[in-house]
Amino acid sequence: MNKSELRKQAMTERRLIDPSAIKRLNEQLLQRFSKLDFSAISVLHIFLPIAEKAEPDTFQCINWLKNHHPHIKILVPKADFRTALMTHHEWRGMDYLEKSTFNILEPRSEEVYKGLIDLVVVPLLAFDKCGYRVGYGKGFYDRFLEGSDALKVGLSFFEAVDEISDVDALDVRLDLCITPDKIYYFNT
Ligand SMILES: Nc1nc2c(c(=O)[nH]1)N(C=O)[C@@H](CNc1ccc(C(=O)N[C@@H](CCC(=O)O)C(=O)O)cc1)CN2
Ligand SMILES: Nc1ncnc2c1ncn2[C@@H]1O[C@H](COP(=O)(O)OP(=O)(O)OP(=O)(O)O)[C@@H](O)[C@H]1O
């Protein structure tokens, strides 16, 4: 299937999961996330979930990290829809968030982080067995991750599809992807 078909399919499938199932899937994702090796990670970037789109609950990952790896600096993105670029800001807690375009929660902070990032938790609608992903189609993460050495970790309620038929040279592959049932490791 191509990106556009996969986007549509994933959005429909997500809408159909009932809330109690979502809760369980999120618990499974956190359980797997917490098994990653964070010993070499100093700076971790993570998206904030768009509740209306039933994205994986990354707040639970942030809380877990704050409790178990308090030295890790956590960054969250702010998206500029005019440029399709993101800026990155240190996580300062729930009180420092506001709802922006398309119900995306974003930090209020104006202070932009420009240093190195060791690990990026990447949002997606679908991914394939090679680690290519499909997002909402604006290319935010492809631009952000172009040339980055960070470990790229996808989070998905669904398993990999066989192939994204219209992958292009600008698409950035994941290094691994966590689903409720397993972790996929890609040879990147
Ligand atoms: N939680 C989260 N934050 C993220 C992303 C993401 O996938 N998840 N993004 C990942 O890149 C960027 C935002 N990308 C987005 C792009 C479109 C829409 C959206 O709601 N679009 C509308 C209308 C589309 C249109 O009219 O063209 C929609 O789909 O209804 C949302 C986020 C940056 N932040
Ligand atoms: N590094 C880049 N520089 C310039 N344009 C890019 C880059 N990466 C992607 N694009 C463009 O962005 C558009 C959207 O790309 P694509 O459909 O792969 O988005 P996506 O991965 O679904 O979205 P997102 O990354 O926001 O989750 C395409 O027109 C693509 O050519």
User: What pLDDT is attached to residue 19?
Assistant: 92
Q: If phi over 0 gives left and psi between -120 and 50 gives alpha, with beta otherwise, what is residue 85?
A: beta
CA-to-CA distance for 38 and 104, rounded, in angstroms?
27
Q: What atom of ligand 2 comes closest to residue 170's alpha carbon?
A: 8
Reported confidence tier of residue 109, pLDDT bands at 50, 70, 90: confident
Inform me whether the pLDDT recorded for 187 exceeds 90. Answer: no
User: What pLDDT is attached to residue 160?
Assistant: 98
Q: Tell me which of 142, 146, 148, 164 to substitute to probe ligand 2's pocket, judged by most ligand atoms within 8 Å of the beta carbon.
A: 142
pTM confidence score: 0.96
Average pLDDT over residues 157-180: 97
CA-to-CA distance for 57 and 90, rounded, in angstroms?
19
Domain boundaries, the chain: 3-185
Question: For ligand 2, is residue 169 a contact (CB within 6 Å)?
Answer: no
Reported confidence tier of residue 16, pLDDT bands at 50, 70, 90: very high
Inform me whether the pLDDT recorded for 188 exceeds 80. Answer: no
Q: Is the ipTM of this complex over 0.90?
A: yes
Question: pLDDT (tens digit, 9 = 90+) per residue, 55-105?
Answer: 999 999 999 999 999 999 999 999 999 999 999 999 999 999 999 988 899
173 is in an annotated binding site: no
User: What pLDDT is attached to residue 110?
Assistant: 82
Torsion over CA: 136, 138, 144, 145 (sign): positive
Question: For ligand 2, is residue 135 a contact (CB within 6 Å)?
Answer: yes
126 DSSP β-pair partners: 134
* Contact criterion met (CB below 8 Å) for 87 and 112: yes
Pairing of strands 119-122, 43-46: parallel
Average pLDDT over residues 13-23: 95
* Contact criterion met (CB below 8 Å) for 152 and 173: yes
CA-to-CA distance for 49 and 54, rounded, in angstroms?
8
Q: Which CATH superfamily is domain 3-185 in?
A: NagB/RpiA/CoA transferase-like (3.40.50.10420)
CA-to-CA distance for 188 and 69, rounded, in angstroms?
27
Collapse the DSSP code of 57 into the 3-class scheme (helix H, G, I; strand E, B; otherwise coil) and give the result.
Answer: coil
Average pLDDT over residues 1-13: 97
